[in-house]
């Protein structure tokens, strides 16, 4: 019985981070700039690297926090478009938790399992 308990995998930790959506029906490209020692995984239907080594993603996308603390500024690639950023797992139909703008800042303090989302003033 003890051997069986040792072989049982630990339950997976729930993911946390943010989902990024277009504020319109047309997909929006966005870039992410990290500060601090924040490490994130990305999910997107389309992504590519620009010559300046910045990563461009397309909505819908997700930014999953792996470790560290700091902030991520998510900015619409085209300054005429807006993005909606909400906590990971929130329904896209629910706009109560969404922060909508051209630049949105996501911050993780310490080892919290949650983030704060706010508009970023350049």
Query: What are the backbone dihedrals phi and psi of residue 62, each rounded to the nearest 5 degrees, phi first?
Result: -135, 145
CA distance 39 to 4: 34
> Helices marked H in the chain — which ranges?
2-7
| Digit-coded pLDDT (tens) for 48-98 | 888 887 889 999 999 999 999 999 999 998 888 999 999 997 776 766 778
Q: Where are the beta strands (DSSP E) in 15-102?
A: 17-22, 29-36, 39-44, 47-49, 55-58, 61-67, 70-76, 83-87, 99-101
What percent of the chain clears pLDDT 70, i.e. is strictly above it? 86
CB 68 within 8 A of CB 28: no
Nearest to 86 by CA among 76, 71, 101: 101
- The listed range with the strongest mean pLDDT (14-18, 50-54, 96-100, 115-119) is 115-119
Neighbouring CB atoms inside 10 A of 30's CB total: 25
pTM: 0.82
């Amino acid at each position: 019985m003890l051997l069986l308990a040792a072989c049982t995998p630990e339950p997976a930790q729930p993911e946390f981070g943010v989902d990024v959506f277009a504020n319109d029906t047309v997909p929006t490209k966005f870039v992410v700039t990290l500060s601090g020692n924040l490490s994130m995984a990305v999910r997107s239907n389309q992504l590519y690297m620009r010559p300046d080594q910045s990563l461009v993603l397309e909505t819908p996308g997700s930014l999953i926090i792996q470790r560290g603390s700091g902030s991520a500024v998510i900015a619409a690639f085209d300054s005429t478009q807006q993005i909606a950023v909400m906590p990971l797992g929130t329904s896209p139909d629910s706009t109560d938790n969404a922060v909508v703008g051209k630049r949105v800042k996501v911050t993780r303090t310490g080892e919290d399992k949650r983030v704060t989302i706010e508009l970023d003033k350049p």
